[in-house]
């Protein structure tokens, strides 16, 4: 029909029209669409009340009474935002007086088949990839597949009531989420709707979930530290604002705990934290929210949750929605920390969608563009120059490995995208070394540029000392007689490992880290009994905070360890060691 300059037109009327009206409609449609001939199909729907609805070439013209009433009702609903009764009455009066009962023209299509959260729609000839569409049931969807005869739409809601023939309407805008300062302190779903029972969120702006990453010209070098409060990470695997640092390890090795500790440590640092839960249990997300609330971290945090009970499309868009919210704050010059927990489940959700959309499977059944899936997400994290707002977004993606296999498809993808990784080892975790950071496999490609001078000065030899200890420990585990130098190296390494142990939800301030590291790396605690080392060093740090608060404040504010500060540390350490040595002997 199209090749002959013809088209099929479906006309739905409130009652059956007579012959002359059908002929007039056919001529009018030909003039309207510039066609030589139109094949007319008539349907009767009494619910239209009057008028008719015309569908042709993917465009719907609504001249029905029902459609006009719906548009009037929508206008009245939009106008019902006044503060008082008089404002409400006046706004409704203006809406009714200014109402134009003309046509409602929209581009529409019809559902061909639906199942597993995927709808195949015909008629949306001008649909764009990533565009938001609305179904007549009220559910929204996102276009994710474009073929010659149909489009594949992933449903962002329930498919109840959707069947063959359901009307689908284009919106002409990409899938987006609401953003605004009011979202801070709230728990929202992947579409930005509140799910914490605290009422609606008043936002006036929306941002597309898919957005091109900032260019090279607009980026600033990463050289401002983002302290995690975890000694092992801040000393050896530093993270800078605008960096992308991967947290990787088997399940139940403390990956989420590191992320939560990092959020807790941002208190008072003017950093907005966004925790994106992908495929987690709802109880786990609730537990994290309670922890953040208990320590006062929800005052500067947002939790975006797409739990395991949510559909694959919602789990797929969740990290992009979180990045859109973070970019809103970054554009205002603020620093943002965003955590994706975890991208392994995100890749599985995308694989599910791709297979349902009949895309070709590749390695491990993932589609060929799964690398692009995470690269376009993580590239959005950066630090902007002053000309572009000066904000930053630091990303901490989490990847779960199977039996420590970091050479699997998704782990190697994300390792190659990020600026370093923190590898958590199962054997270390179960041996009591927590956080179970493997120093050999963990690396930060930003390095000392993201450290304060105090930490850089005191932690300079820490990684080398631990590496030497690991090597000697392997070779001497069966030896009985060791020379004094080897024994001293082993004792020093054991004390360093003991100091790196840190309980949950107890982040350490930068000044306290500097004091602890100075005492440890300079061998000032090598004469302390191994089982007393941790308690001794923490007690000494507390002594410094109580008796020499001005020194600790100087280290915290300047980020440097001055000569007088070092002399004070050595003096206080000597006096403190004399006081507690009697307890060791007892």
Question: Could you tell me which of 126, 113, 124, 143 has the C-alpha nearest to residue 55?
Answer: 124
Between CA 538 and CA 542 the distance in angstroms is: 6
Contact between 139 and 162 under an 8 Å Cβ cutoff? The reply is yes
Question: Could you tell me which of 225, 241, 271, 220 has the C-alpha nearest to residue 451?
Answer: 225
Looking at 110-207, list the stretches that DSSP marks H as alpha helix, in order from N- to C-terminal side: none
For the record, the structure tokens of 91 come out as 């706004």
For the record, the structure tokens of 82 come out as 């006044």
Contact between 505 and 260 under an 8 Å Cβ cutoff? The reply is yes
Contact between 159 and 139 under an 8 Å Cβ cutoff? The reply is yes
For the record, the structure tokens of 182 come out as 């009011």
Specify the DSSP class assigned to residue 45: -
For the record, the structure tokens of 456 come out as 């850089």
Between CA 493 and CA 495 the distance in angstroms is: 5
**Hey, which residues does 259 pair with through a beta bridge?**
none
**93 an active-site residue?**
no
Residue tagged 């088997």 (tokens): 250
CA-CA-CA-CA torsion sign (118, 120, 123, 128): positive
Catalytic hit among 359, 445, 468, 570: 445
Query: In angstroms, how far is CA 191 from the centroid of its own chain?
Result: 13
Contact between 300 and 236 under an 8 Å Cβ cutoff? The reply is no
Specify the DSSP class assigned to residue 239: -
For the record, the structure tokens of 502 come out as 């840190």
Between CA 340 and CA 462 the distance in angstroms is: 30
**Hey, which residues does 53 pair with through a beta bridge?**
12, 62
Query: In angstroms, how far is CA 504 from the centroid of its own chain?
Result: 23
For every residue of 362-418, DSSP letters joined together read -GGG--TTHHHHHHHHHTT--BB-GGGT--EEEEEEEEE-STT-TTSHHHHHHHHHS
Contact between 493 and 539 under an 8 Å Cβ cutoff? The reply is no
Given the DSSP bridges, would you call strands 118-122 and 104-115 parallel, antiparallel or unpaired? antiparallel
Specify the DSSP class assigned to residue 225: B
Query: In angstroms, how far is CA 482 from the centroid of its own chain?
Result: 51
Torsion angle (degrees, nearest 10) of CA 545, 547, 553, 554: -130
Return the CA Rg of the chain.
Answer: 31
Between CA 144 and CA 209 the distance in angstroms is: 14
How many CB atoms are closer than 10 A to CB 175? 25
First to last CA, the chain: 100
Residues with Cβ within 8 Å of 581's Cβ and at least 6 positions away in sequence, in order, are none
For the record, the structure tokens of 498 come out as 């003991």
Contact between 379 and 227 under an 8 Å Cβ cutoff? The reply is no
What are the residue numbers of the active site? 445
């Amino acid at each position: 029909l199209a090749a002959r300059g013809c088209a099929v037109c479906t006309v739905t009327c409130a009652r059956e029209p007579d012959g002359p009206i059908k002929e007039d409609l056919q001529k009018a449609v030909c003039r309207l669409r510039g066609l030589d001939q139109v094949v007319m199909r008539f349907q009767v729907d009494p619910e239209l009340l009057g008028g008719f609805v015309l569908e042709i070439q993917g465009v719907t013209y609504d001249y029905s009474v029902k459609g006009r009433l719906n548009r009037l009702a929508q206008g009245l609903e939009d106008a019902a935002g006044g503060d008082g009764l008089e404002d409400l009455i006046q706004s409704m009066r203006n809406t009714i007086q200014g109402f134009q009962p003309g046509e409602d023209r929209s581009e529409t299509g019809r559902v061909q088949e639906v199942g597993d959260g995927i709808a195949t729609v015909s008629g949306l000839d001008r649909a764009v990839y990533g565009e938001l569409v609305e179904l007549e049931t009220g559910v929204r969807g996102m276009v994710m597949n474009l073929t010659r005869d149909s489009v594949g739409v992933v449903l962002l809601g329930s498919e109840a009531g959707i069947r063959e023939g359901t009307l689908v309407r284009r919106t002409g805008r990409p899938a987006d989420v609401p953003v605004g300062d009011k979202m801070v302190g709230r728990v929202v779903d992947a579409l930005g709707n509140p799910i914490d029972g605290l009422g609606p969120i008043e936002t006036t702006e929306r941002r597309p979930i898919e957005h091109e990453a900032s260019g090279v010209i607009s980026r600033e070098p990463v050289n401002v530290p983002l302290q995690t409060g975890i000694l092992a990470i801040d000393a050896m695997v530093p993270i800078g604002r605008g960096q992308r640092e991967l947290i990787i390890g088997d399940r139940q090795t403390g990956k989420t705990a590191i992320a939560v500790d990092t959020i807790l440590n941002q208190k008072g640092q003017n950093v907005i934290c966004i925790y994106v839960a992908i495929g987690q249990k709802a109880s786990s997300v609730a537990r994290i929210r309670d922890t953040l609330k208990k320590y006062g971290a929800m005052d500067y945090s947002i939790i975006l949750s797409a739990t395991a009970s949510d559909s694959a499309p919602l789990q797929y868009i969740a990290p992009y929605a979180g990045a859109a919210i973070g970019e809103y704050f970054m554009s205002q010059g603020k620093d943002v920390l965003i955590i994706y927990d975890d991208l392994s489940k995100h890749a599985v959700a995308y694989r599910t969608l791709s297979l349902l959309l009949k895309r070709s499977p590749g390695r491990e059944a993932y589609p060929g563009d799964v690398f692009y899936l995470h690269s376009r997400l993580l590239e959005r994290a950066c630090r902007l120059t002053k000309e572009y707002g000066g904000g930053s977004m630091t990303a901490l993606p989490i990847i779960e490995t199977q039996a420590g296999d970091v050479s699997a498809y998704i782990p190697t993808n994300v390792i190659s995208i990020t600026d370093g990784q923190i590898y958590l080892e199962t054997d270390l975790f179960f041996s009591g070394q927590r956080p179970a950071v493997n120093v050999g496999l963990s690396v930060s490609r930003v390095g000392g540029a993201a450290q304060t001078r105090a930490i850089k000065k005191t932690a300079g030899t820490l990684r080398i000392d631990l590496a030497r200890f690991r090597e000697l420990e392997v070779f001497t585990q069966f030896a009985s007689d060791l020379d004094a130098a080897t024994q001293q190296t082993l004792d020093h390494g054991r004390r360093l490992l003991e100091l790196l142990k840190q309980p949950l939800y107890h982040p350490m301030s930068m000044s306290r880290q500097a004091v602890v590291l100075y005492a440890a790396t300079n061998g000032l605690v090598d004469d302390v009994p191994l089982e007393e080392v941790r308690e001794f060093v923490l007690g000494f740090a507390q002594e410094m905070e109580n008796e020499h608060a001005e020194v600790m404040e100087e280290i915290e504010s300047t980020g440097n360890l001055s000569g007088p500060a070092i002399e004070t540390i050595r003096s206080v350490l000597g006096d403190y060691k004399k006081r507690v040595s009697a307890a060791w002997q007892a």
